[in-house]
Amino acid sequence: MLKYKTIYVLLHYLIKFYMLRITVLILLSFTYSLCFTQKHQATKFESVFEKNANMGRQCFNAHDYNMALQHFLKAWEIDSNDIAVNIAIAENLLILKDYEEAIYWCNKNLHKKIKSIDLELIICAALQETGKQSQALEKLLELSNINAYKNNNKLWFYLGLSYYNEKKLSEAKTSLEKSIRLYSNFPEAHFLLARVMKDLNYPAQSLLCLYYFLFLDPLNQQAREVRLFIKDAIEINHLSKALIQSYFDSLSVENIKIEYKNFAQALKNNTSEDQQMIEIDNFKFLSQAFFDIMYKKFKDNTDMDNSLWIERYIPVFHSLIKTRNLSTFCIYISQSKDIYYTHWLETHPDEFRAFSKWISN
């Protein structure tokens, strides 16, 4: 009897032990399933967020700001605290000239104790666009005294823009030069510096800035106007005759014959049906002359007022005319003028590849 009782007790405890293990395994399985579901859901939301954020950036780079804004707003609905998305929304609102909404969006984020120079600068830009120049300038000067922001190129760009709007050209020039030295690949800084130098009566320096602006962003909304302005500055304002004369005066007699023969032959080889390439050949020749004269004029110049042109613009364009990429460069910066030039780049991959290699170097 004792024997059966002992067996019964052992079986009872054994069953309880296995039941406990099964319960634990069920709980663990449920917990893992719940965690996996939550992780999968989070990954799904993250995937949708990243997809919209990436699409927003692509549309922005393609200058499709309305579509970019829509994608960034969809990303914001998933993660409203993402600072990059909030900045992108405010920036698109600014470009689309919805200035009041841009200011509201920036302040909404700044009130969350988020420190962002980009949001502050968008507010300043919106104030400038709505005619509140003195308020924008005062805010920018305050920001320029904060050590953490002193090396921000856009701060100095917007400060230069404020000075320009206030007709303080010397201060605008100084601020824009500092912006470009901090980051030279911001097209708008070169474009604004060109306007400043033109108003200061430095047409050659202004043209160099415009060439560089087109080099950085040939499909910018203002690119077509800039390309036509350069052409007008050289041809309509009769700079071409003086430019060519100066160019020829700088060459030996033998080189003059070679240069003129090459230029005349290039025009002769083109038919009337290919007006675009005739125009490019003419533009190339005048650009080469202009870059060469500027190099000769500035290479021995130690004037501090010309230091940025010696440091940045002159070396770039002088190195360009020493390569075989000048024609491709002239076509590249003319894309906004005619779709023909974009098509030419697509159908001449070797030339464009060589030009791209020069850029990367």
Of 14-18, 56-60, 238-242, 341-345, the poorest mean pLDDT is in 14-18
The encoded tokens of residue 275 equal: 């007006």
pLDDT value of residue 39: 47
Q: Domain end: 98, 131, 164, which one?
A: 131
The encoded tokens of residue 279 equal: 């125009």
Domain that holds residue 53: 32-131
pLDDT at 41 over 60: no
- Answer yes or no: is 353 within a domain: yes
Q: Return the closest-CA partner of residue 190 out of 205, 212, 169, 173.
A: 212
State which H helix or E strand residue 342 sits in: helix 339-347
Task: Provide mean pLDDT across the span 137-148.
Answer: 90
- Answer yes or no: is 331 within a domain: yes
Task: Provide mean pLDDT across the span 235-262.
Answer: 54
Please, which pLDDT band fits residue 3 given cuts at 50, 70 and 90?
very low
Burial of 283 (0-12, 13-18, 19+ CB in 10 A): buried
User: String of b and e for 129-166 (b: at least 16 CB within 10 Å)?
Assistant: eeeebeebbebbeebbeeeebeebbbbbbbbbbbbbbe
Alpha helices in 145-251 (DSSP H): 153-165, 169-182, 187-199, 203-216, 223-235, 239-249
- Answer yes or no: is 196 within a domain: no
Q: Domain end: 131, 150, 184, which one?
A: 131
Q: Is 193:212 a contact under the CB 8 Å cutoff?
A: no
The alpha-carbon radius of gyration of the chain (Å, integer) is 31
Count how many domains the chain has. Answer: 2
SS3 state at 278: helix
Cα of first residue to Cα of last residue in the chain, in angstroms, is: 97
Burial of 264 (0-12, 13-18, 19+ CB in 10 A): exposed
- Answer yes or no: is 3 within a domain: no
pLDDT value of residue 264: 53
Q: Domain end: 71, 102, 131, which one?
A: 131
- Answer yes or no: is 121 within a domain: yes
- Answer yes or no: is 244 within a domain: yes
Average predicted confidence (pLDDT) for the chain: 80
**For 15-36, how does the pLDDT look when each residue is reduced to its tens digit (9 = 90+)?**
554 555 555 455 555 555 545 4
The encoded tokens of residue 294 equal: 């500027």
Task: Provide mean pLDDT across the span 204-226.
Answer: 89
Q: Is 72:89 a contact under the CB 8 Å cutoff?
A: yes
- Answer yes or no: is 55 within a domain: yes
The encoded tokens of residue 60 equal: 């922005």
Amino acid at 189: A
pLDDT value of residue 276: 75
pLDDT value of residue 4: 47
Whole-angstrom distance, CA of residue 319 vs CA of residue 360? 13
The CATH number assigned to the domain holding 101 equals: 1.25.40.10
The encoded tokens of residue 156 equal: 């100095």
Percentage of residues of the chain with pLDDT beyond 70: 73
What pTM, to 2 d.p., does this model score? 0.74
pLDDT value of residue 303: 64
pLDDT value of residue 232: 72
**For 61-80, how does the pLDDT look when each residue is reduced to its tens digit (9 = 90+)?**
888 999 999 999 999 998 88
pLDDT at 261 over 80: no
pLDDT at 113 over 90: no
Q: How many residues does the chain have?
A: 361
**For 309-325, how does the pLDDT look when each residue is reduced to its tens digit (9 = 90+)?**
888 898 999 999 888 89
Q: Is 166:131 a contact under the CB 8 Å cutoff?
A: no
Positive/negative CA dihedral, 305, 153, 196, 341: positive
- Answer yes or no: is 110 within a domain: yes
pLDDT value of residue 89: 93
Specify the residue for token string 């690119």. 223
Whole-angstrom distance, CA of residue 307 vs CA of residue 316? 14
